[in-house]
Structure 1
Amino acid sequence: MTIENRSEYGSHDNALEELERRNQKLAKINAALMQRVERSMDYQANAYSMFQTAIGLETQVRARTEELKAALNRLERANSQLTLARDGAERANRFKTRFFTAVGHDLLQPLHAARLSLSALGEIHGEQQHKRLIGQVDHALSTIEELLRTILDLSKLDSGAIKPSFQPVGVPDLFRSVLVDIEPIARDKGLLLTMRAREMAVTSDPLMLRRILQNLLANAVQYTERGRVLLACRKRGAHLRIDVWDTGPGIAPSEQTKIFEEFHRGAAGQRSHAGGFGIGLAIISRMAETLGHRIELCSEPGRGTRFSVYVPISEELPANRSVSRDRQSAATRAYGLTSLKVMVVDNDAGVREAMRALLDRWGCDARLFQGLEGVNGMLASDPAFRPDIILADFHLDNGEQGLDAVARVREAFGTPIQAVVITADHSVEVAEAVAATGSEILRKPVKPAELRALITHLVG
């Protein structure tokens, strides 16, 4: 082979190699392009799949949103109905409170008159059968009175109408004032009623705290057939624990959690012949809750019961500590009131007639008036009649008050004549208004012996 042929073959080989390299390069480019095309197609497929997924999720979100809107609408309607029901319940509760207050006042008026008339009748000397019937009627009136007071207390506590007036309360005077009411009942049952008081004061509402202790003592005396009832106190840190102990039948553990519920009398209450509606302890519990005082019960069947009230200790001493003690001693006296000049102001004709009969039996010289007009007429026509004491109803007709009559008489004679305001209104506002005039207050229906003792104390 010549040199020219070799050169020609060498060029041909080089061309083939070049073509081979180009072919491989094109193959790589083609492979790369195919990969890009495949990736592009996969991306489009994924994008389409995501698009479909998004459409599905949007549909679900729309459906859930509609369900949520429907639920919110139902909830809004339910809230509106609950609001209407709550407003209706509040209106009914306010109406119930006003109703019981008004009806209670109207019912206490004839009870007040009946008690006064019955007392006057009882002082007339007669046969033993006559006295026994009077006693039965008096017991029935007392039962009705207690039930009405209980209904009114429950109504006021439920509505929040009772607002406590916190002040220092002397423990010895408080204990004596409670025992003076319970002592005759305990004595009739042959029970020993004692107290152990400490010379200190507590912070509470004196009327509500007295009512709590009075109810606890009354329950203890009612359910204790033999033994003793003790009113005592112990210091426990910043509180004074006031205890009412008895040697009664005790309360079973299964009943102790229910004893403060309304209308629950328990086994001892069902065995007792004293009656009752099982709401006394419920009132005690609610009063203690209103005052923020804790109630504690400790009892063992067959051995007795201890009810305790935890009351904050006061660093201040109560004002006029000796007044209540004097009044309690006066409450046990019953002197004659012959020739005592008494002015009675009451808008109820039945009460005026009953009061006239009672005061006549006591030998008093009484003048009775319906309202301020009659008082002014008497002052103008008979100025020589200067009353020793005024007995006035708080609520009179035409928006007048008994305090108006008291102020008018005192102004006419220029002297602070003693006055007793008699009312069925147990509100703090009324008590404060009466106290501001230096007058005394009695709640209807008034017990004649209590009225006579108070008159004797004031004018004696």
Structure 2
Amino acid sequence: MKTPSKLNHLMKGAFHNLSIKRKLLVIVITSLAIAMLSASIFFVLYDRGKAQENLANNIELIAIMTGKRSSAALAFNDKNALRDNLETLRILPGYIAACVYDREHKLYLHDNLKGREHLENHATPCPQTPNTEKPSIIEGSEIRAIAEITRNNVIYGSLLIRYSLEEIEQRTKLFSIATFIISMISILITLLITRRLQGSFIYPITSLNAIADLVSQSQDYAIRAPLHSHDEIGNLVKSFNGMLNIIQQKHLSLNEAILELQQSSLELKSYAASAEERGAEFQQLLAGASHDLRQPLQAMAIFVDALKLSATKDQSQLVKKLDIAIENMSQLFSDLLDYSRLRSKQQANFIEGPVNLKQLLFKVSHEFEAVANDKNLFVRFRADDINVIGHSTSIERIIRNLLSNAIRYTETGGVLISCRRRQGGVVVEVFDSGIGIKPESLSTIFDSYVQEDRNFSGQQDGVGLGLSIVTRLCNLMHYSLEVKSNLGRGTRFRIVIPAPKYISTSAADRSDDAPSVANLIDQTLMRQQVLEDKSVCLIDDDPEILAQLHALLTSWGAKVSSADSLEQVHQLIPRYKRSAPDIIVSDYQIGVVDTGIDAVDLIRVACNHAVPALIITGISDETELQILRSQGYNVLRKPVKPAKLRAVISFMLNQ
């Protein structure tokens, strides 16, 4: 069943799809029908009200006159004379009954069309007491008029006359039929007149529509619409013809511009050829400049080497950092040359090889510590021991540019560099607590020579090439680059190195004869079987580590349920609602954004109690580890020996 709102929507849609001719007809007929209906209803109701009012006044007057004639009969207790007076009322067409009451408001005598009845008759059409509040009232389908019976200013009683409104009802029906017929005739006449007149109103519009279709199909902007009148439609035709004049002029100008562009294109081709020659000359100039700039760096390197011999213990650290900075600066010139080749669409021949990210990130972060300390900022470093296939200098340049930007736009707090395994690949991230980036600027910060105006009070040195170099180098090595920023809170740059570029250190260092983790079990502890029949939930996103820990815990007698992601933990929830695990052992990072804390909280909510949880993590920052412990989690830092893992689990289960 269609709701009123749907019906209303369908009616509007049907009306909008009508032609202008039919719309005009619908509007005129609907408006007239509403007006006639409203006027008819008002007229009928008004006539009914006035007729009732006049009839009530007449019956009230008859009651007064009859009461005066009956005053003597009531005063002398002459019922026969009183009955004769009441019987004269029967000639009234709507007469129902007449009731006489004495001065004590008790029914004395009554009369109706069924014949005379005495007071003792209980089937009386009169109420026991008269209603003296109003001279006349309308109750239901009748009028009741009341008049006092007085003589010489003495009240002897009252007279009540009941009168039917049937003649008013008949009058109302006749008037309703008459107004309906008049309305239909009026609508019919209006329909005929409207159909005769709407042609002269619609024809200019249909003519204008036909001209517009002809111009659209032929693309001939010299066509003009004929002017039929000087009203609003005539003004519309004039505006349409004026618009065609403008379009015709623009069309001619556009053709001229196309011819000019074709000529300019030929000239640009010749300019491009000469620009390519100048680009080659620029490459040679840049290479020569790079060579010349290396000379003072070489001198600086000699000076630093001399300082090493005479530097004190405190100075030696500064000299060492200066030596590293000079070496890195020398490599920057080579990267600038590579960037120039990328700008000129020349292929840079980067030789890729194994790169240890932990050593590389440590080297770069160590260099920037001095810059950060000058601004009272910290630089924290957190990385797993990971090897990838890549160009060491390019990766270092990427990290250095990101660190430089992070320190430049940070006034309080510091910068964090992290490197972790994620879903078969590697993620390198640079976090800062700086001023952040506006959302509308995130799409342009990687363009060349673009520096965002971030209302920063510090010095903004540089020319806007840093992030552009990062983007080009990431594209060259097929790394993905992501940025996320909260204005006023900080920014995170993420470099994702795909799985084909990742060398699994565990697979590279493990030999076929090396014993597995499951075999490294203390036999004395194994015989004790302290985990016998204990239910353990094991969570780790590394398949190899998950399999080894599963075998290890099973060998200790535990019943292990494994999950390598938060999604798989969700699948274990129905089982844990029936029977909760005795303990949860989870890696801290189990996905790109998910953590073991999320998994533990999910299981605890499902089981409705605090299941003991052990978090294993590679976090080296003791402050972050202390935060986890303060939240009520048992924490072990990688690598964890089996004996220690067993001892901690046994302690947690026996608490």
Same fold at TM > 0.5? no
The structure showing larger relative contact order (alpha-carbon pairs under 8 Å, at least 6 residues apart) is 1
TM range (shorter): 0.3 to 0.5
More helix by share: 1
Indicate the structure (1 or 2) with the bigger Cα radius of gyration. Answer: 2
TM-score computed with the length of structure 1 as normaliser? 0.44
TM-score computed with the length of structure 2 as normaliser? 0.32
